[in-house]
Every structure is written in C-alpha cells, then in structure tokens.
C-alpha cells in the first residue's frame, strides 16, 4: 500500500496527475472529433454523390482499421511530415512533435468518425415536419440549422455520444505507446521500477472504472435535464 | 510513395494476418460461451448471480482492453501461486494471455448483447411452447436460443469487427500479428503511410467480409 502513498515515496500523486492527463486528452480528442463530425456530417447527408463518397471513405476506413494502427500512422508519420515541410524551409534537424497533440489528434480523428455516424442518425430521426415548418416560417438554411436542427440533434444524440465518450476514454490508453504519461504509461513506469505490475495495472483498471462510472452519472443527469420537455 | 516497399511488405503483412485471424477466431469462440453463460445468469431471476454477472460485464466494458491484457500478461506472472500451478504453462505464453484477455473482453460484450436479445423475446413464444406442453429445457433450447441468436446477429456482427480491431493490441505483448509486423516495418523503414495503406486495406478487407457474412446470415434467418 505504501507504494501508492502520496509524495516522494509513493506513486499516488503521479497517478492522480496521470488521471487528469487521461481526462484532458479524452476531452481534447472528443472536441477535435466534434470538429471532424461537424465537417463530415453535412457531407454525409448531402445529395452530392462525391461528398457522400468522401464522408463514407472517412468513416468506413477509420471504423474498420484498428485504433493502434491509426496512432502509429500519426506518431511516425506526423513528425516526418512536419520535418519534410521544415526541410523545404532549410531546417534539417530532428523535430519531435508534442505527444499530447499527436495523441489527441489521432484519437480525435477516430472519435470524429463515430460522432459523424451519431449526428447523421440524430438528424435523420428528426421529424420531417420540423424541416417543412421551418421552410414555411421562412427560415434560411443557416438559421434553420442553428435554431431548429442543432438543438434537437444534440438532445437526440446524447445517449449515443455517451457511448462515443466511453470509447474515446478507453482509446486514450493506446496513446501510452507514444510516450504520453497518462494512466497507462504511468502504471507502466511504476510497474517497471517497483516490479509490481499486478498492483499498478489493477489500480489503472480501477481508475478507468471510476472515470467511466462518474462520466455515466454526469451523462445520465444531462439526459434527464434535456429530456424534461418531452 | 515507395512502391518497392509496398510490394515487399505485402506478403509479410499477409502472413502476419494469419496470426490476427487465429487470435480472433479462438477468442470469439471462447468468448461466445462465456457470454452465453453470463447472459443466462443475468436472465435468471437470482439477484446474487445477476449482480455477479453484471459486475463482470461492467468491469470488462468499463476498462480498456490494454489494461486487461497487461494485468493478465505482466500482472499474473508476478503471483507465486500462479507461477507454481499448472496455469503457468498457459500464462507464460503471450499468445494465450492475449486470447484469455480477448475472450473475457468479448464475453462481457456478448453477454450484454445476448441478454438484451433474451429479454426482447415476445412472451407469447414461450407461452406457446408451454401450452404445447414442452418442458422448460426444450423451450430454452428450441425457442429461446434460436430466437436470441437471430435477434443478436446485427449487434454481434459489430462486436466481431470491434474484436478484429482489438486483436491489434496483441502486438503490445510481443505477438507479431498484423499490427505488430506493420509497426516493425514502420519503425525500421520510417515509411508509415505505405505500410498503413497495406495493413489498413487488409483489415478493411476482413471487416468487409465479416460485414457481408453477417448480412447474409441475417437475411437467411429473418422471419
């Protein structure tokens, strides 16, 4: 137990910091995912075949390829791409890009693909009458989206977004391969230096369980709050 | 784009995908039985057994697969009791550690899928069986299980695809599966895009096949 103490003797405080790091990466990834989803959802719903193709390409590939492979692509590919750009400007030293950014970006692309599907489903399940009513009332496209579609879409997608959040939270454990010190990486370091992997990986599992449990509680509250009128 | 690398690494990656498929099929097979077992515990009206089954599925669905593999591979090797028992001959192999972790993980998801399938069976079907005088066992094997399997096909198809992606984590415990070999080639050649294209296409090809087989089964057993 003293291995988990706070301060210099134990790993308690390091693990707390790592948990905050996991949360930070998850939130960042989720937000990046939303940006991707807001770009690709309209493409997916558009009547243009070419736009459909692009959006389907994105969601199919990302959802069909292992997360780890995507992370390797950005981890190894990211710095070489930047180094290539830098070499054009005459800078030839090794550039290491931030592990947090690489991680948040690669997990964000993955969660974006899932969010796209969630938003698509939510918009498609909005009653057609709503679109017609907004046309009758003379709303333009932008106003219709912000005032009518978006609020309903968000409410309808909360349950499925909570699944995406859970997936994203668990996927962040894979970023540990890039060296970002989140829960998994910290446990790996602690397990290596104390030779007690069972303890630290069990603690890691408990920390993840706490995170998923708490986020479920918060999301359930949100769901009740936004379903009040229905 | 380095086409030589693509041509050279394609057979290596294809060969590595055999390991991936082996891991997938073995763990799905074991996981199906685990899932069925815990789903049955959930639908029996025994509170304690139900709670145990719920705890199992909650724990395995609430923690990352990576943690589960690491606990089994690195963690269990540390316990004297396991190292001295017959279990050690299994748990010292990374292959079996990965299979155990995958099977327990997919078992948790499968139990949820099957449980909801069992619970959505119309009571009329079971009543019809009873009025025909069929014993409970017969009702279970001949009515409930076939309907539950049909009901859970779409969700189970998704689970198979998730598991296919999950097997990539075997590369973290030294197994050379498709992702493991892909990572090895990337880290020796520093050409991530080419390798990603090939490995990604192989994975997509498998997902495509799984998706269509499930679709075919759904159509065949629709009622």
Tokens 């299979």 appear where? B99
CB within 8 Å: B192 and A77? yes
Interface list for chain A against chain B, based on CB atoms closer than 8 Å: 60-61, 63-69, 72-73, 76-77, 80, 166, 170-171, 173-174, 176-177, 184, 187-188, 191, 195-198, 201-202, 204-205, 208-209, 212-213
Residue A28 domain-assigned?
yes
Q: Which residues of A touch B57 (CB under 8 A)?
A: none
B124-154 per-position pLDDT tens digit: 988 998 999 889 889 888 888 888 888 899 8
Backbone angles phi, psi at A7, to 5 degrees: 90, -160
CB within 8 Å: B68 and A205? yes
The answer to whether the CB of A153 falls within 8 A of the CB of A163 is: no
Rounded distance between C-alpha atoms, residue A66 and residue B203, angstroms: 8
Residue among B86, B108, B223 at smallest CA distance from B159: B108
Residue of B nearest to A197 (CA): B75
Q: Which residues of A touch B63 (CB under 8 A)?
A: 170, 205, 208-209, 212
Reported as type and span, the H/E element at residue B177 is none
Residue A117 domain-assigned?
yes
CB within 8 Å: B64 and A202? no
CB within 8 Å: B204 and A60? yes
Rounded distance between C-alpha atoms, residue B53 and residue B39, angstroms: 8
Contacts of A158 (CB under 8 A, 6+ apart): A219, A222, A223, A226
Tokens 């991936």 appear where? B20
B167-198 per-position pLDDT tens digit: 999 999 989 999 999 999 988 888 888 899 99
Residue A45 domain-assigned?
yes
CATH number of A47's domain: 1.10.3720.10
Residue of B nearest to A187 (CA): B67
Report the residue count for chain B. Answer: 223
The minimum CA-CA distance between B196 and chain A, rounded to whole Å, is 7
The minimum CA-CA distance between A127 and chain B, rounded to whole Å, is 26
Q: Which residues of A touch B179 (CB under 8 A)?
A: 66, 68-69, 72
Chain CA centroid to CA A151, Å: 21
What is the secondary structure of A3-41 as a DSSP string? GG-SSSSSSHHHHHHHHHHHHHHHHHHHHHHHHHHHHHH
CB within 8 Å: B193 and A198? no
Contacts of A109 (CB under 8 A, 6+ apart): A32, A33, A36, A62, A70, A74
Reported as type and span, the H/E element at residue A76 is helix A67-88
Residue A92 domain-assigned?
yes
Residue A62 domain-assigned?
yes
Residue A155 domain-assigned?
yes
Rounded distance between C-alpha atoms, residue A151 and residue A138, angstroms: 19
Average pLDDT of the residues in A102-116: 93
Residue A161 domain-assigned?
yes
A114-157 per-position pLDDT tens digit: 999 999 999 988 888 888 888 898 888 888 888 888 888 888 89
Give the domain range for residue A153.
Answer: 20-180
What is the secondary structure of B42-54 as a DSSP string? HHSS-HHHHHHHH
A32-64 per-position pLDDT tens digit: 999 999 899 989 988 899 999 999 999 999 989
pLDDT at A23: 95
Rounded distance between C-alpha atoms, residue A13 and residue A17, angstroms: 6
Rounded distance between C-alpha atoms, residue A60 and residue A64, angstroms: 6
Q: Which residues of B touch A80 (CB under 8 A)?
A: 190, 192
B30-44 per-position pLDDT tens digit: 999 999 999 999 988
> If DSSP codes are grouped into helix, strand and coil, which group holds residue A47?
coil
The structural domains of chain B, ordered by start, are 3-220 (1.10.3720.10)
pTM for the complete prediction?
Answer: 0.89
Q: Nearest CB to B62: which of A73, A174, A213?
A: A213
Rounded distance between C-alpha atoms, residue B56 and residue B62, angstroms: 10
pLDDT at B77: 81
Please name the residue ranges forming H helices in A94-182. Answer: 99-124, 128-136, 141-144, 150-171
Q: Which residues of B touch A208 (CB under 8 A)?
A: 62-64, 67
Count of domains forming chain A:
1
Rounded distance between C-alpha atoms, residue A212 and residue A203, angstroms: 14
Residue A39 domain-assigned?
yes
Interface list for chain B against chain A, based on CB atoms closer than 8 Å: 58-59, 62-68, 70-71, 74-79, 161, 164-169, 171-172, 179, 182-183, 186-187, 190, 192-193, 196, 199-200, 203-204, 207-208
CB within 8 Å: B204 and A170? no
């Amino acid at each position: 137990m003293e291995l988990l103490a706070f301060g210099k003797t134990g790993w308690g405080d390091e693990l707390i910091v790592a948990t905050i790091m996991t949360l930070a990466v998850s939130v960042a990834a989720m937000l990046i995912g939303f940006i991707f989803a807001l770009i690709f959802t309209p493409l997916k719903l558009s009547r243009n075949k070419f736009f459909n193709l692009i959006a389907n390409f994105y969601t199919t590939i990302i959802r069909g390829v292992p997360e780890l492979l995507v992370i390797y692509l950005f981890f190894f590919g990211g710095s070489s791409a930047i180094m290539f750009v830098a070499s054009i400007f005459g800078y030839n030293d090794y550039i290491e890009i931030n592990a947090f950014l690489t991680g948040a970006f690669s997990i964000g692309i993955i969660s974006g693909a899932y969010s796209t599907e969630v938003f698509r489903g939510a918009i498609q399940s909005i009653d057609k009458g709503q679109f017609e009513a907004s046309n009758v009332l003379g709303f333009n496209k932008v106003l219709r989206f912000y005032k009518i579609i978006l609020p309903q879409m968000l409410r309808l997608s909360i349950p499925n977004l909570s699944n995406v959040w859970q997936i994203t939270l668990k996927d962040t454990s894979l970023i540990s391969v890039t060296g970002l010190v989140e829960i998994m990486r910290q446990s790996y370091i602690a397990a290596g230096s104390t030779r007690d992997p069972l303890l630290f990986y069990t603690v890691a599992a408990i920390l993840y369980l706490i995170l998923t449990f708490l986020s479920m509680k918060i999301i359930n509250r949100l769901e009740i709050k936004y379903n009040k009128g229905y | 784009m380095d086409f030589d690398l693509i041509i050279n690494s394609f057979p290596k990656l294809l060969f590595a995908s055999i390991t991936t498929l082996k891991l997938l099929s073995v763990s799905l097979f074991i996981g199906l039985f685990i899932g069925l077992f815990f789903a049955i515990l959930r639908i029996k009206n025994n509170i304690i057994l139900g709670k145990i089954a719920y705890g199992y599925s909650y724990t395995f669905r609430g923690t990352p697969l990576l943690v589960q593999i690491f606990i089994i591979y690195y963690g269990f090797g540390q316990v004297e009791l396991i190292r001295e028992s017959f279990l050690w001959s299994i748990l010292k192999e990374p292959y079996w550690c990965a299979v155990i972790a995958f099977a327990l993980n997919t078992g948790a998801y499968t139990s949820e899928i099957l449980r909801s399938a069992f619970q959505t069976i119309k009571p009329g079907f079971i009543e019809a069986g009873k009025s025909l005088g069929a014993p409970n066992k017969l009702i279970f094997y001949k009515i409930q299980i076939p309907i539950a399997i049909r009901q859970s096909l779409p969700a189970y198809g998704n689970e198979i695809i998730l598991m296919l992606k999950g097997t990539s984590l075997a590369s973290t415990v030294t197994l050379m599966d498709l992702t493991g070999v892909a990572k090895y080639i990337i880290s020796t050649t520093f050409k991530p895009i080419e390798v990603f294209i090939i490995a990604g296409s192989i994975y997509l090809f498998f997902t495509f096949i799984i998706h269509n087989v499930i679709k075919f089964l759904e159509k065949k057993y629709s009622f």
